[in-house]
């Protein structure tokens, strides 16, 4: 998300008097906490920058390497936080990180029915649909219907495993590697790995987008 | 007894809206403030979750995602004595004054 | 909490169906349902304490518990092998007679 100003900094983007009740209280609490020395403007800016630096590209790299290097995949699935650290992806704020691998016969889909748990230190902020009430309600009892809405009609003999992130575990799906991609480079493969494929509601793209 | 936030399997759900909205400045602030206070050990995730879960059902369902975050954060900061509702009210009035009239 | 996990991998477990006021991470839809322990994740601070500004101690064991979808939802396609997995703390689980895993 592009925002060129500091979070909460005065700027030209929209009249402040039209802000909602709670938006105004966000600025008010920020100012009070800064005045009291509980947090600094700098803390807030750095945190926002840290969050902005987390994007699905992190996950795409991990998935593409897992597709091309079985030894990497084995290590990644066994100790994902350690492998992230080696790759320069700071996942230290993540409690626990669990990798789920899709196959021809078994596929995984991740939800948090109680709130919006998501592997933010790897993928960044969750998409709006992931936080939506309709997804939280339907993912557990209608996963196939949800996937159909995302364009995926699964055969009956494929087993769907829904993971409800109710505790300290954060889940990431390795989607199946699309057929006919044997000659693609790791960099090209990364472009096939979408955010939604790592949540498990879609497949990886069949070919590199134009 | 099932509470509003505990919505897995609710049968009144419709199609999933896949529209992404661009984050407003105050939402970036809400997100960052929440994280910073967690990193500093001033509050934890389960506390703000609890405050959201305790919201009345109508509020939980009608507020936007980051409005729920801010409302729950205020509840917890008031509980911990770091701010009072009145302080926030006064600061809002001060800011409105500074931002000017429509 | 320390020592060996109460429930071994593959053990049949039922999720307790009682209502506990306050912050809990056991979703309503899985209460009273029977599944199996897929694996034990180790010990974590207790969210039921953390949520009410406690220290989360003693830590509690957390399990990945699997359920057949047709055992959870009325009307879920009976021929389906689909499953739902939920992360559940040990004190929400009790032994069950039948795993079905």
Question: What CATH code is carried by the domain that includes residue B30?
Answer: 1.10.472.20
Do A97 and A181 belong to one domain? yes
Domain tally, chain B: 1
**Chain C residues 33-72 within an 8 A CB cutoff of chain B:** 47, 50-53, 72
Residues A32 and A101 grouped into a single domain: no
A67: CATH: 3.90.330.10
Q: How far apart are CA A205 and CA B32, in angstroms?
A: 32
| Residue A9 covered by a domain | no
Q: Does C20 lie at the interface with B, CB-CB under 8 angstroms?
A: no
**A45 plus A133 within the same structural domain:** no
Whether B102 shows a pLDDT value over 90: the answer reads no
- Which of residues 144 through 163 in chain A touch C, CB cutoff 8 A? 144, 156, 159-163
Closest-CA residue of A relative to B52 is A115
A117 is catalytic: yes
From C73, C76, C87, residue closest to A169, measured CB to CB:
C87
**Percent of residues, chain A, with pLDDT higher than 90:** 87
Asked if C27 and B50 come within 8 Å (Cβ–Cβ), the reply is no
Question: Mind listing the pLDDT tens digit of every residue in chain C (101 residues)?
Answer: 556 789 999 999 999 999 999 999 999 999 999 999 999 999 999 999 999 999 999 999 999 999 999 999 999 987 899 999 999 999 999 999 864 54
B55 touches C at CB < 8 Å:
no
CB atoms within 10 A of CB B45: 17
pLDDT tens figures, B56-95: 999 999 999 999 999 999 999 999 999 999 999 999 999 9
The per-residue pLDDT for C4 is: 77
Q: Does C101 touch chain B (CB under 8 A)?
A: no
Rounded to the nearest integer, the mean pLDDT of chain B is 96
Q: What percent of chain A has pLDDT over 70?
A: 92
Residue A121 has pLDDT above 80, yes or no: yes
Q: Are residues A38 and A126 in the same domain?
A: no
Torsion sign, CA atoms A142, A148, A152, A155: positive
Q: What confidence score (pLDDT) does residue C5 get?
A: 81
Asked about A115 being catalytic, the answer comes back as yes
Confidence at A72, pLDDT banded by 50, 70, 90: very high
Residues A34 and A135 in one domain: no
Structural domain for A47, as ranges: 20-52
Show the domains of chain C with their CATH numbers: 12-95 (2.30.30.50)
One-letter-per-residue 3-state SS of chain A? CCCCCCCCCCCCCCCHHHCCHHHHHHHHHHHHHHHCCCCCHHHHHHHHHHHHCCCHHHHHHHHHHHHHCHHHHHHHHHCHHHHHHHCCCCCCCCCEEEEEECCCCEEEEEECCCCCCCCHHHHCCCCHHHHCHHHHHHHHHCHHHHHHHCCCCCCCCCEEEEEECCCCEEEEEECCCCCCCCCCCHHHHHCCCCHHHHHCCCCCCCCCCC
């Amino acid at each position: 998300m592009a925002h060129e100003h500091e979070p909460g900094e005065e700027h030209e983007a929209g009249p402040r008097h039209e802000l909602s009740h709670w938006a105004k209280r966000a600025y008010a609490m920020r100012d009070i906490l800064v005045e009291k020395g509980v947090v600094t403007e700098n803390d807030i800016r750095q945190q926002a920058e840290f969050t902005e630096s987390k994007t699905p590209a992190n996950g795409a790299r991990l998935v593409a390497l897992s597709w091309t290097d079985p030894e990497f995949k084995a290590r990644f699935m066994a100790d994902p936080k350690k492998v992230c650290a080696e790759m320069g992806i700071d996942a230290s704020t993540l409690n626990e990180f669990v990798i789920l691998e899709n196959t021809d016969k078994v596929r995984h889909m991740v939800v948090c029915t109680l709130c919006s748990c998501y592997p933010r230190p790897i993928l960044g902020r969750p998409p709006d649909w992931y936080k939506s009430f309709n997804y939280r309600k339907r993912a557990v009892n209608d996963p196939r219907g949800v996937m159909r809405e995302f364009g995926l009609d699964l055969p009956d003999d494929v087993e769907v495993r829904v993971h409800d992130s109710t505790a300290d575990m954060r889940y990431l799906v390795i989607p199946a590697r699309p057929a006919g991609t044997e000659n693609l480079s790791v960099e090209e493969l990364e472009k096939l790995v979408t955010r939604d494929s790592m949540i498990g509601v879609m497949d990886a793209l069949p070919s590199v987008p134009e | 007894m099932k509470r509003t936030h505990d919505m897995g399997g609710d049968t009144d759900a419709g199609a999933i809206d896949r529209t992404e909205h661009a984050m407003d400045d105050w939402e970036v602030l809400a997100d960052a403030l929440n994280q910073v206070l967690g990193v500093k050990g001033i509050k934890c995730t389960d506390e703000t979750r609890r405050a959201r879960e305790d919201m009345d059902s109508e509020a939980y369902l009608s507020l936007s995602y980051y409005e729920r975050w801010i409302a729950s954060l205020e509840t917890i900061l008031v509980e911990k004595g770091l701010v009072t509702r009145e302080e926030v009210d006064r600061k809002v009035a001060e800011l409105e004054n500074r931002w000017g009239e429509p | 909490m320390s020592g060996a996990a109460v429930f071994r991998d593959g053990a049949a477990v039922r999720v307790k169906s009682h209502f506990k006021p306050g912050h809990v991470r056991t979703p309503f839809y899985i209460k009273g349902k029977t599944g199996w322990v897929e694996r034990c994740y180790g010990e974590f601070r207790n969210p039921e304490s953390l949520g009410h500004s406690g220290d989360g101690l003693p830590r509690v064991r957390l399990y990945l518990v699997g359920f057949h979808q047709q055992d959870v939802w009325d009307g879920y396609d009976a021929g389906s092998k689909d499953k739902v997995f939920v992360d559940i703390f040990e004190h929400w689980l009790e032994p069950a007679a039948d795993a079905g895993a």
